[in-house]
Structures are given as C-alpha cells and as structure tokens.
Amino acid sequence: MNKLLDRKIGPLLIIIAASFWGCMGIFVRTLSDFGFSAIQIVSIRITLAALFFSLILFIKNRAGFKISLRDIPLFLGLGVGSILFFTVCYFSAITIMPLSTAAILLYTSPIWIMLMSAVLFHEKINRQKIIALALAFAGCVLVSGISGDGITAVGLLLGIGSGVGYGLYSILGTIALRKYSPYTVTTYTFLIAAIGSWFICRPAEALSIFSKATNFSGLVLLCFLTALVTAVIPFLLYTLGLRCVEASKAGILATVEPMVATIVGIAYFSESLTLLSGLGIFLILSAVVILNKR
C-alpha cells in the first residue's frame, strides 16, 4: 500500500516543485530592480536556502549533519558540479543569446538524465519514456518560442552545460538518497553551493546595495521569500520525489516549469499567450499524462 501511495505522490511532488521553480521570474525580476546582478541573486537565493535547510535539519534530526568523509566528493558534485555550475552556465548563456534559446538548451536536461540513468542505474529507455521526452521537449520549444538567432559556439556550450548540470542533480541526488535523508542531501548541497557562489558574486557590491536600500526590511523579506519559494520548497519536494521516482522520469516531469513560467508571465506580467505557446503547454501536459499512464 505504501509503495502504491509513493508511486502516486512521487510524481506529484516533482510537478509541484517544478511549478514553484516556474514562479522564479517574479522574484528575479523584482530583485534585479534593486540593482543586483543575476549571479548575486543566485548567491542570495542559495545562501539563504542553505540557512533554511540547515535549520530544518537541526530541528528534525541533528544526527543528519554527520556524513562520511568518503561522501564529500558526492556532495561537492551536488553543490558545485550541479547547482552552482548549471546556474552560472544558464545565466551566462542568457547574457549572450536569446532567453528562449538558453531555456531550450537548459531543458535538454531530461535527455542527459535519461542517458546517464541508463548507464549508471540501468534504467530502461522504453517507448513510453521516448514519446514523453519528445512531447515534453517539443512543448518546451513551442512555449519558449525558440528563434535560433544569436547562437554562438560559446553560447551553445554554456547552454548544454546548464542542461547537463541541471540533470546532474537528479543523478547524484538519487545516489545520495541511498544513504542519506532528503534533508541531509539538500542541506549539504546548498551549503557547498553557497560557499562556492561567494567567490563569483562580488559580495562587497551586493552588501553595498543592501546598505543603500531605502526599504531595507522589505528587501530582506523579499530575499527570504525568494529563497523559500524558489529554492527551499521546490528542491526539498523534488528530492523527496526522487526517493520513489526514476531520475529519467523526474527530469521529464520537471519540464512543467517553463509551462508554469509562461502562465505566470501571462497572469503576473500581462504577457500574451500565442497559439504556439498554448500548443506547447498542451504537449507538456500530454507528456506528463503519458509518463504516469500504467
């Protein structure tokens, strides 16, 4: 009975997590209005998320802070190789190519997850997964409205790097969850990512923006909400979902993020919904239905 319940709840947790990520644009655009760079916003988000996760782990299970020294490379891979690497690649790609193109390259992640899962976990690449993957990727293309303009070799490598790094969380997270709780995995992942982000975000400049803010308390509250809504809640839900959902399947389910981002853009920023975007949303939802059809 518990396994049946997990099979139903697991995919739902992944979808809810991706939906939270889809709301990221609201917070990123608002923080950028204060003068923060994209990398500084990433560092603020990751650092505060690390504090949240540490507090959660401290309350739930203090023994969860104990990890084996031999597993440090695994958590370095999760923190630096996945979270920090994919974020830096993605935001760097955004600066040198159209946003839609960067988004599509980011969402090549299910492809890399499926390939890595087949090699490392011997997950079967069946017809159901291939059809769902094709529908999800086509949906992302239509939702993002890829133009193909402005693609350079460097931009292409950065975009693909963001997809690989994004997908790596599902792979390394699945390995870490075999030995540690989701709370331990997310805590150490973000602590390591946060430390790494301090070396590239120009912290003195970020602190200067805080000191000059006319509404300091409002800015601090916004930063905490950004960390909670776009990192703590979704990454915790996604990691919990990985306990009972195959990594390759989770990667495809997470493609609802650009769909939600499109809906948020329409509802919050009064952006228009095109026929192609609507078709893309339909294809992504179709992929989710196919993937969960038994």
Q: Is the pLDDT of residue 33 over 70?
A: yes
Q: Is the pLDDT of residue 82 over 90?
A: yes
pLDDT band (50, 70, 90) for residue 147: low
Lowest-confidence region among 119-128, 148-157, 198-207, 281-290: 148-157
Tally helices (H) and strands (E) across the chain. 16, 0
Q: In this structure, what DSSP letter does residue 269 have?
A: S
Strongest mean pLDDT among 3-7, 66-70, 266-270: 66-70
Give Cβ neighbours of residue 177 (< 8 Å, ≥ 6 apart): 185, 239, 242, 243
Whole-number pLDDT of residue 3:
58
Q: Is the pLDDT of residue 5 over 60?
A: no
Give Cβ neighbours of residue 6 (< 8 Å, ≥ 6 apart): 243, 244
- Tens digit of pLDDT for each residue in 221-249? 999 999 999 999 999 999 999 988 888 88
Whole-number pLDDT of residue 98:
66
Calculate the CA dihedral of residues 225, 250, 53, 6 and round it to 10 degrees: 110
Q: Is the pLDDT of residue 15 over 90?
A: yes
pLDDT band (50, 70, 90) for residue 6: low
Q: Is the dihedral of CA 286, 250, 18, 109 positive or negative?
A: negative
Whole-number pLDDT of residue 148:
56
Give Cβ neighbours of residue 105 (< 8 Å, ≥ 6 apart): 93, 156, 158, 159, 160, 162, 163
Whole-number pLDDT of residue 159:
84
Mean pLDDT calculated for residue range 42-64:
94
Helix (H, G, I), strand (E, B) or coil at 293: coil
